[in-house]
Amino acid sequence: MTILPLSYLPSVAWCARLLRGDCTVDLGEHFVKRSERTRARILASDGPMELSVPVCGAGRPRTPLRDVRIDYSKRWQHRHWQALVSAYRSSPYFEHYAARLEPFYRREYRFLADYDLALLDVLLDALGLPRPAFAERYVEAAPGDLDLRARHCEGRRVQTEGPDDFSPEPYVQVFADRMPFAANLSVADLLFAEGPTASEVLRRSLR
């Protein structure tokens, strides 16, 4: 089994592993600050850019993920959507998918988990990917499980059980004429670039 954290605009690697099957997203874990639960990377005109969803009381230790509330005192929704538009409006499939994603930058969700889950559902439908299982209680990793809950979106820290089978397949990104390929960004980057063939890129990224 592959154990995944809940993720905001999940990475290419996160989505690719769904194609292996037997994936479970842990909704019963404690919230991890500065992780992909609230952060995603996109490709801006000057390089990879991080988007971060602000949350209330993130400094409290051992806060259940399900209890984490989104902080709307800052205009993060406007900033995130403007960043996505600025980065991807010239990409081949932005206009095709923009209408599905824009409502998530207008409507307010009280809890982070509800927001991430609703956004994930739209992304998986657009990508044609299988849904993982969702565990409401903390998942204890067993021998042989691939536990990716400690992997941060920046790729700086990795803690796994079992082999890591992801090797990013390059695709033509929106600023390919001026910068090298940036691996493992948000799957939104791949979706806007490849559209209906994005799932084939995901499949080729698995060894």
Mean pLDDT, 10 residues at a time, over the chain (207 residues)?
95 94 94 92 96 86 92 96 98 97 98 98 97 95 89 40 73 94 97 97 92
Q: What's the pLDDT at 65? A: 94
Q: What's the pLDDT at 186? A: 97
- CA 41/CA 28 separation, integer angstroms: 25
- CA 17/CA 13 separation, integer angstroms: 6
Q: What's the pLDDT at 162? A: 41
Q: What's the pLDDT at 61? A: 77
Name the 3-class secondary structure at 158.
coil
Q: What's the pLDDT at 155? A: 39
CA distances from 157 to 9, 90, 103, 140, 201 (A): 19, 33, 33, 20, 25
113 neighbors 196 (Cβ within 8 angstroms): no
203 neighbors 19 (Cβ within 8 angstroms): yes
Q: What's the pLDDT at 207? A: 78
Q: What's the pLDDT at 139? A: 94
Point out which residues pair with 11 in neighbouring strands: 186
Q: What's the pLDDT at 60? A: 76
Q: What's the pLDDT at 165? A: 77
Q: Look at phi and psi of residue 195 and say left if phi exceeds 0, alpha if psi is from -120 to 50, else beta.
A: left
- CA 60/CA 57 separation, integer angstroms: 6
Point out which residues pair with 200 in neighbouring strands: none
b/e string for 65-104 if b means 16 or more Cβ within 10 A?
Answer: beebbbeeeeebbeebbebbeebbeebebbeebeeebeeb
Q: What's the pLDDT at 151? A: 61
The model carries a pTM of: 0.90
CA-nearest of 40, 191, 47 to 201 is 191
